Amino acid sequence: MSKSITMILSAILTYLNSHDALVILLALLACGILKWRNQAAVLGSGRDRDSWTRVPLRQPQELTKERVQPGKQLEEGLPDPDPLLDFDLSTARTRDYVYVNRTLRYPYFQTMSHRPMHINDWIEIDKDFVAYLDQKKRVIEEHAPDVLLSLPENDDACTELLQMLADYLPRRYPTLFARLPPTASPTSGTDKPFGGGILNKATGEQFDVTSVCGTDALRIVSRLVQDDFLMGRERDDGKIYLVGGLVAFPGFYLLSEKLGQPLSELHAPVPHFAAKIGMSVERTLVRLDPAHPFERSSWGIADDQDMFWHNITSNPLRPGQRAEDLWLRICHQTFRKLPRSRVIVFGVHPVLRQMKEFADLPLVPELLAKIHVDSSQEMLDYKQGPKYIDVLVPYLQQLAAQQVERGLVRPDEREDPANFRRLAQDRCDATG
């Protein structure tokens, strides 16, 4: 259809042999109609002016580099994701966070190390989706006062986050979620009409997203995505404070211990944060605008799969703990500013990778070993290093030597393990 319209417009211009303004206007109008029809075919019926999203979206390819002044509403709103029309939950994988976002780097030092985030990467779902949701449900049932909290100033932002997810998920994952229109019929268990919401096809649950706020909204969020969310707000003093969140998988801390703290206090335990990057991080978040989200990743070592509270957080390694059964915990972290409330939403999706998986990843064992051997004692203490380093490092060094013996790595390549991403790409290119 696009080709036909283009040919017709070309013929009109040729016939008139001019750049008449009316003809150009008609051409632009025809292209706009075509674009609207194509978008509607992919994304469904779209929004009306009174829909519960109330935020007009743009396609990712239409984003510009323009910035907005702090405190100014970005009228264009947030971009639409590209739909995964053939998404299969049984085989779904996230991106490989070992290689994405410079999670592992050498020499290792404290840095924000953030990257612009494509909207498609905001929420990633893998085959463990239902297992994550089930585990998150159990954690909330047992520890809600510690993991599910919102200050009154943040309650409306919780609704905004829920509605943003309820709009995003059916667009990105149409095989897994469906958007539900409002109806006159009462919502199950209430006498209120269903205002509109979302269906999670994997669990069979449907939720009205128009009549909840605060922790009730965050509880619904916990049934939709694997991510946790922390929420920060800039107050009158110009500082950002943690005002709420859903953090079922913290691993090493409790939301209840952090709620209400300013950014500087939240990161006080992080070595060199205040001296080296504290002001830069706060300035970046204050200036963050809704159309320019970003992402980063962090890592730690865990000794079990209990993402709520790893054993190593409070205790030494269990007797007989084998190095190959330790876990590299990587947290994919996303940063967005909500357009209406201006609250900063910090998403965290933890992924666990067992150490023995790295035997076949060139230079990764070498890199992990060097990070632990050469990092400052302050950083190692912060990451619980003294509890596991004597078990882990010899194992990693053994894997690194075996990679040379197996021909996965040349001896000279071990001298610069930070090149592991390039090496992986070279191997991939060589094998087609």
- Whether residue 322 contacts residue 365, with contact meaning beta carbons closer than 8 Å, is answered with no
Measured CA to CA in angstroms, residue 414 lies from 96, 278, 364, 368, 402 at distances of 22, 34, 10, 12, 12
- Enter the DSSP assignment of 121: G
Instruction: Record the tokens describing residue 308, joined without a space.
Output: 């709520």
| Per-residue model confidence (pLDDT) at position 110 | 66
Predicted local confidence at residue 79, as pLDDT: 73
Smallest Cα–Cα separation from 355: which of 411, 299, 422? 299
Cα 221 to Cα 158: distance, rounded to the nearest angstrom = 9
Q: How far is CA 366 from CA 105, 330, 361, 392, in A?
A: 11, 18, 10, 12
Query: Within its chain, how far is the Cα of 248 from the centroid?
Result: 15
pLDDT for the residue 182: 87
pLDDT at 38: 40
So what's the pLDDT on residue 139?
99
Q: For 332, phi and psi rounded to 5 degrees?
A: -75, 120
The CA distance from 396 to 226, in Å, is 30
Go through 53-66 and write b for each residue having 16 or more CB atoms within 10 A of its CB, e for each that does not.
Answer: bebebeeeeebeee
Distance of alpha carbon 112 from alpha carbon 103, whole angstroms: 10
Cβ distance 386 to 380 under 8 Å? yes
| CA–CA separation, 314 and 25 (whole Å) | 68
Which H or E run contains 96?
none
Six-digit token pair at 17? 């042999």
Note whether 63 and 291 are within 8 A (CB).
yes
Task: Tell me the average confidence (pLDDT) per consecutive run of 10 residues in the chain, 432 residues long.
Answer: 49 46 44 42 35 37 34 50 97 94 78 87 98 98 98 97 96 97 67 84 96 97 99 96 98 97 92 83 92 94 98 96 97 96 98 97 94 92 96 98 94 83 62 44
The two three-digit tokens of residue 249, written as one number: 């998988």
Q: Please report the pLDDT score of residue 416 as a whole number.
A: 82
- For 347, the 3-state DSSP assignment is strand
- Both tokens of 39, joined, read 């978008």
Question: Locate tokens 């994701």: which residue?
Answer: 81
Q: How many C-beta neighbours within 10 Å does residue 276 have?
A: 15
Question: What pLDDT, on the 0 to 100 scale, is given for residue 58?
Answer: 35
Residue type (1 letter), 74:
L
- CA distances to 56, 185, 281 from 150, rounded to whole Å, are 27, 30, 23
The pLDDT assigned to 162 comes to: 98
**Residue carrying the six token digits 């096809």:** 201
Q: 24-51: buried (b, 16+ CB within 10 Å) or exposed (e) per residue?
A: eeebeeeeeeeeeeeeeeebeeeeeeeb
* pLDDT reported for residue 183: 79
pLDDT score at 52 = 38
Which residue shows structure tokens 């905001």?
122
> In this predicted structure, what is the pLDDT of residue 244?
98
Which pLDDT value is given to residue 189?
A: 58
pLDDT at position 237 is 94
